[in-house]
């Protein structure tokens, strides 16, 4: 552990350098002076109260490694907060300092830790109990677009549990800072958790999303959340109405004064200090209050919380616009700097739900097994940390090409270690969930009474289904596995399969022919209609691996198009300044190395046929001269199943920080395409549903997407491992305010290193990515076009060989069953919000509201179900459970939570 004084000095130095170079601002006192000299503040006659919220922007692992940061939060940072707090005791009660922090950060500060002093412990307890230290609802800034709603939900527990421990109300406001945008699923989660207000503070100079400023944000389920979007970290840093930037309005300094046209009585002056820099000094706090009192005499000004703001604000029943647009994040490309880690994240989230469901159901079935609640909680914490918006250290690498290759091997060891810190979160979560899965299946193997030469197959989804499963290296087709339960399935003799000289594979539904030299799908014929879905568009054939290598000019154009330009830039005609955290300073010009988009050639094809599957493998050699790694595309048809599976593997990619992107290109033969993107929650039409300023070139899917042509016929694409897609054209180093996809091409991003800070700059080695594809027509039900097949692909059947022919459990057993498909069980186990009983949460995924019958694993175990919100607060009257069943009206894309007793 570094010396605390040295660590503090480094934080202060970093903050000063960052603030001076990128924000052209100084101390709070000089900012007040600058503002006073540069413009006369127009008095707002509407505002009667200003609530001042002090906060810091927390970057977990950006300025320093995470372990060092946590220790810094617990000591130097919190001690400075206590000092500012103590210094303000001589001020009036309304000006006494209060400081807000995210739930996870504050929980780490407040928890017992080795080395904590008794004096600090007592001060912290008193400060938190008296509301001087505060927490908002979220654990930290989370990238909701790539985070499962259940993971976000579990992350809310840090703040709610801390508040309950001190017998305080749980926070009803939340804040995200830095990320320019958040997915609509965040509005649904927060609103269903009882949160009333969210502030989104965009990172300057990142591009902002055009919103009404203050609005009711309507989530995919129809719930609404009061939301304030600022083009800066807080409302007290820069203008509060992002759209005014385009009018060249002068920059308002860092102060507490509301804009002249704020139409409401209450103004939230949310002042956010820079990355991990901690609370302001007492003198800075005093200067801010002196400034606002002089400028706005007679207005009540007080320190408080975002909770205080929303309570006072809503008391007047103000008229507020409703905002329903989707806001794909312009930072979302960063997730695919870590394709190995993100593949684990996509697999771990559904596995955790399956683990918890089976473990609790085995208890319901009468088995005695160890508790897993703490392990599940730890895994969800690590999953939330992986979705936290910081992916590594702040160091920059400005050498490219031959200069990069000459760098000493260990030059960036600490930076690379910070990247591993990030990926280790999801590795830990994956290891926990995998171990629970093994333990669960072992318990089933020892407890189910099964005939010889059978396998036990478990189905984690709440509807009966069939599917392919592998056990002990053998593939079996498991038919009619009960909802949420298991069945014993006969094993057949092992078959290794045989090679074929065919250049195609086929089953009942499709015939697929390949171009071995190009490593692509030449034709994809649907036998039901005769239609060939494969296509060659924009120079790419279906299934092609595509690699792009970019130039300095492309990064510069993107940065200029994307970043905000301050008024002082416009005044000084300094609009050519490009933020080095977005741009690639030092990159090589297109005059020396032009942009290129390439795919490999000279591949080979092999076909294997077994009783259950036909598999084609296209292997493409490496082309080191053109920076193309070796790749392998495996295309599989399963006997009797109306889908095809693709798995592309990138082999032994070189370590290189040259800005590039890897893609799987999937053009389709569809006329007049209509796109539907199935997000974490909800469905987005990219032609009409994306807000201006959000990402129209690249976004994340939850389940996948469909492309529909004339007559309702179309293709569904479900990326299982990597969710970032572009439509029509590749979307890295692209930013447009009005782009609408026209061509029926899906590009699945396999890797990119677009960022110049905060994310990995290189990812050497090998990794793979799986995609499931199927066709549909106008008669296919809405849930079967995407939701049900995608959920079955992402929630595979599990299998184990039985070990006890005299086990107490029957050979077939139902688990939790829902009366219709497309709804998942996301929680079934211990309630970490402290309620006694068993937590059951279901989440509607198909977009259909209505009455659902919930059948529990065993009659007589539970007698009532009490509705609760996502933070454990009772939200309805108890429902009687009769015969192991009860009914409930679900909302499309909404959660429903119960405590079962």
525 to 132, 508, 629, 799, 899: CA distances (angstroms): 67, 11, 30, 33, 50
Q: What distance in Å separates the CA atoms of residue 427 and residue 420, rounded to the nearest whole number?
A: 10
Q: How far apart are CA 312 and CA 430, in angstroms?
A: 44
- Exposure letters 777-792 (e unless 16+ CB within 10 A, then b): eeebeebbbbbbbbbb
Identify the CA nearest to 488 among candidates 802, 118, 163.
802
CA pseudo-torsion sign 565, 568, 571, 577: negative
User: Distance between CA 774 and CA 786 in Å, rounded?
Assistant: 9
Could you give the angle at the alpha carbon of 280 between the alpha carbons of 279 and 285, nearest 5°?
Answer: 130
- The strand pairing partners of 809, in sequence order, are 448
Give buried/exposed letters for 166-197 (b at 16+ CB in 10 A, else e): eeeebbbbbbbbbbbbbbbbbbbbbbbbbbbb
747: β partners: 665, 726
Closest residue by Cα to residue 727 from 748, 717, 706, 741: 741
Closest by CA to 558, choosing from 312, 850, 207, is: 207
How far is Cα 706 from Cα 676, in angstroms, rounded to an integer? 5
Q: Is the peptide bond before 205 cis (omega within 30 degrees of 0)?
A: yes
Going from the C-alpha of 556 to that of each of 509, 552, 562, 570, 735, the distances in angstroms are 48, 6, 10, 18, 12
Residue among 189, 143, 134, 190 nearest 166 (CA): 134
List 608's β-bridge partners, or say none: 499, 615
Spell out the domains of the chain, with CATH numbers in brackets: 4-323 (3.20.110.10), 336-447 (no CATH), 498-550+597-669+724-770 (2.70.98.30), 552-594 (no CATH)
Are the C-beta atoms of 145 and 121 separated by less than 8 Å?
A: no
CB atoms within 10 A of CB 482: 19
Q: What is the pLDDT of residue 757?
A: 82
Q: How, if at all, do strands 300-303 and 49-56 pair? A: parallel
CA distance 498 to 149: 44
Q: Of the candidates 57, 63, 100, 35, which has an alpha carbon nearest to the alpha carbon of residue 230? A: 57
Locate all alpha helices (DSSP H) within 75-148, ordered by sequence.
Answer: 78-87, 103-110, 118-129
Phi, psi dihedrals of residue 773, rounded to the nearest 5°: -130, 140
The pLDDT value recorded for residue 9 is 38
Where are the extended beta strands (E) located within 724-874? 724-727, 745-752, 765-776, 798-800, 812-813, 817-818, 823-829, 838-844, 850-855, 864-868
How does pLDDT run across 22-75, given as a tens digit for each residue?
A: 333 323 333 333 333 333 356 788 999 999 999 988 888 888 888 888 999 999
- Residue 594: exposed, middle, or buried by beta-carbon count in 10 A (0-12, 13-18, 19+)? exposed
Cα–Cα distance, 649 to 652 (Å, whole number): 10
What's the order of all strands across the beta sheet hosting 765-776?
498-500, 604-609, 613-620, 630-638, 644-653, 765-776, 714-719, 704-708, 674-678, 683-684
pTM greater than 0.85 (yes/no) = yes
Percent of the chain surpassing pLDDT 90: 79
Q: Can you tell me whether residue 465 is helix, strand or coil?
A: strand
Is the CB of residue 856 less than 8 Å from the CB of residue 887? Answer: no
Three-class secondary structure of residue 606 per DSSP: strand
Low-confidence ranges of the chain (pLDDT < 50): 1-40, 238-253, 568
The whole-angstrom separation of Cα 723 and Cα 346 is 8
Residue-level length of the chain: 901
| Rounded distance between C-alpha atoms, residue 707 and residue 715, angstroms | 5
| Sequence-ordered list of residues with C-beta below 8 angstroms from that of 488, at least 6 positions apart, any chain | 448, 450, 451, 454, 455, 456, 457, 802, 811, 812
DSSP for 183-220, written as a single string: -HHHHHHHHHTT--EEEEEEPTTSPPP---SEEEEEPT
Spatial distance between the Cα atoms of 413 and 395, rounded to a whole number of angstroms: 11
Q: What integer pLDDT is reported at residue 254 of this predicted model?
A: 53
Strand arrangement of the beta sheet that strand 544-549 belongs to: 596-598, 544-549, 660-667, 745-752, 724-727, 699-700
Report the pLDDT value the prediction gives residue 572, as an integer from 0 to 100. 55
Determine the Cα angle at 42 with ends 38 and 45, to 5°.
160
Residue 9 CB contacts under 8 Å (≥ 6 apart), including other chains: none
* pLDDT single digits (tens) 791-831: 999 999 999 999 988 899 999 999 999 999 999 999 999 99
Count of C-beta atoms within a 10 Å radius of residue 411: 12
- How far apart CA 221 and CA 208 sit, in angstroms, is 25
CB 73 within 8 A of CB 99: no
Q: Are 280 and 247 in contact (CB under 8 A)?
A: no
Which DSSP category does 874 fall into? B
Q: Give yes or no for a contact between 174 and 137, defined as CB atoms under 8 angstroms apart.
A: yes
Q: Are 689 and 680 in contact (CB under 8 A)?
A: no
């Amino acid at each position: 552990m570094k010396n605390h004084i040295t660590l503090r000095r480094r934080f202060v130095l970093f903050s000063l350098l960052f603030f001076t170079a990128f924000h052209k601002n100084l101390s709070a006192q000089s900012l007040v002076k600058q503002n006073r000299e540069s413009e006369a503040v127009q008095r707002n006659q509407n505002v009667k109260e200003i609530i001042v919220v002090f906060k810091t922007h927390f970057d977990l692992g950006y300025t320093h490694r995470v372990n060092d940061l946590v220790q810094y939060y617990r000591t130097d940072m919190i001690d400075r907060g206590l000092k500012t707090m103590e210094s303000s005791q001589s001020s009036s009660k309304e000006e006494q300092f209060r400081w807000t922090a995210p739930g996870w950060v504050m929980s780490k500060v407040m928890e017992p830790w080795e080395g904590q002093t008794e004096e600090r412990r007592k001060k912290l307890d008193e400060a938190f109990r008296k509301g001087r230290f505060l927490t908002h609802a979220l654990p930290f800034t989370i990238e909701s677009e790539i985070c499962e709603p259940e993971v976000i939900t579990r992350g809310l527990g840090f703040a709610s549990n801390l508040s309950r421990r001190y017998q305080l109300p749980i926070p009803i406001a939340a804040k995200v800072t830095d990320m320019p945008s958040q997915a609509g699923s965040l509005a649904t989660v927060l609103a269903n958790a009882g949160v009333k207000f969210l502030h989104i503070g965009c990172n300057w100079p990142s591009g902002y999303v055009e919103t009404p400023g203050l609005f009711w944000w309507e989530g995919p389920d129809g719930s609404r959340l009061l939301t304030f979007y600022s083009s800066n970290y807080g409302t007290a840093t820069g203008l509060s109405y992002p759209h005014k930037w385009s009018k060249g309005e002068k920059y308002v300094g860092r102060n507490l004064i509301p804009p002249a046209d704020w139409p409401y009585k209450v103004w939230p002056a949310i002042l956010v200090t820079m990355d991990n820099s901690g609370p302001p000094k007492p003198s800075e706090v005093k200067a801010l209050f002196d400034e606002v009192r002089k400028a706005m005499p007679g207005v009540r000004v007080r320190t408080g919380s975002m909770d205080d703001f929303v309570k006072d604000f809503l008391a007047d029943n103000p008229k507020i616009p409703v905002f329903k647009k989707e806001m794909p994040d312009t930072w979302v490309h960063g997730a695919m700097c870590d394709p190995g880690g993100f593949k684990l994240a996509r697999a771990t989230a559904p596995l955790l739900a399956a683990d918890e469901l089976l473990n609790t159901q085995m208890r319901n079935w009468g088995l005695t097994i160890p508790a897993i609640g703490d392990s599940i909680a730890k895994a969800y914490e690590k999953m939330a940390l992986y979705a936290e918006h910081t992916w590594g250290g702040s160091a920059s690498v400005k050498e490219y090409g031959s200069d990069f290759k000459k760098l000493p091997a260990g030059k960036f060891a600490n930076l690379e270690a910070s990247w591993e810190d990030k990926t280790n979160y999801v590795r830990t979560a994956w290891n926990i969930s995998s171990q629970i899965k093994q333990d669960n299946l072992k318990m089933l193997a020892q407890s189910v009474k099964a005939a010889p030469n059978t396998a036990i197959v478990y189905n984690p989804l709440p509807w009966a289904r069939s599917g392919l499963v592998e056990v002990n290296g053998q593939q079996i087709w498991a038919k009619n596995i009960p909802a949420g339960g298991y069945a014993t399935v006969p094993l057949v003799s092992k078959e290794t399969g045989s090679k074929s000289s065919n250049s195609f594979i086929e089953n009942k539904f499709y015939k697929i022919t390949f171009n071995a030299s190009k490593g692509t799908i030449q034709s994809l014929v649907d036998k039901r209609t005769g239609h060939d879905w494969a296509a060659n568009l924009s120079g790419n054939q279906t299934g092609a691996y595509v690699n792009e290598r970019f130039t300095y000019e492309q990064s510069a154009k993107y940065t200029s198009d994307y970043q905000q330009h301050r008024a002082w830039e416009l005044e000084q005609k300094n609009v050519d300044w490009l933020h080095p955290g977005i741009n690639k300073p030092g990159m090589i010009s297109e005059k020396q190395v032009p942009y290129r988009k390439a795919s490999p050639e000279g591949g080979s094809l092999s076909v294997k046929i077994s009783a259950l599957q036909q598999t084609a493998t296209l292997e493409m050699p490496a082309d080191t001269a053109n920076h193309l790694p070796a790749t392998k595309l495996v295309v599989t048809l399963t006997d009797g199943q109306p889908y095809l599976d693709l798995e592309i593997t990138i082999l032994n990619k070189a370590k290189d920080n040259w800005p590039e992107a890897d893609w799987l290109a999937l053009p389709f033969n569809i006329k007049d395409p209509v796109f539907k993107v199935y997000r974490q929650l909800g469905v987005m039409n990219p032609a009409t549903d994306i807000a201006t300023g959000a990402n129209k070139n690249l976004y994340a899917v939850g389940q996948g997407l469909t492309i529909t042509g004339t007559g309702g016929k179309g293709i569904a694409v479900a990326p299982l491992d990597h969710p970032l897609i572009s439509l029509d054209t590749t979307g890295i180093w692209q930013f447009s305010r009005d782009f609408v996809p026209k061509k029926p091409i899906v590009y699945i991003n396999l890797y990119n290193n677009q960022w110049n800070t905060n994310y990995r700059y290189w990812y050497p080695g090998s990794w793979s990515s799986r995609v499931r594809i199927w066709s549909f027509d106008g008669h296919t039900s809405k849930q079967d076009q995407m939701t049900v097949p995608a959920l079955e692909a992402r929630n595979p059947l599990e299998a184990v060989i039985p070990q006890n022919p005299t086990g107490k459990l029957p050979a077939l057993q139902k688990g939790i069953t829902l009366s219709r498909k497309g709804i998942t069980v996301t929680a079934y186990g211990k309630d970490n919000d402290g309620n006694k009983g068993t937590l059951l949460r279901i989440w509607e995924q198909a977009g259909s509201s209505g009455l659902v019958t919930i059948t529990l694993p065993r009659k007589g175990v539970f007698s009532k179900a009490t509705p609760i919100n996502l933070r454990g607060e009772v939200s309805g009257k108890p429902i009687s459970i009769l015969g192991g069943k009860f009914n409930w009206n679900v909302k499309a894309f909404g959660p429903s939570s119960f405590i079962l007793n």
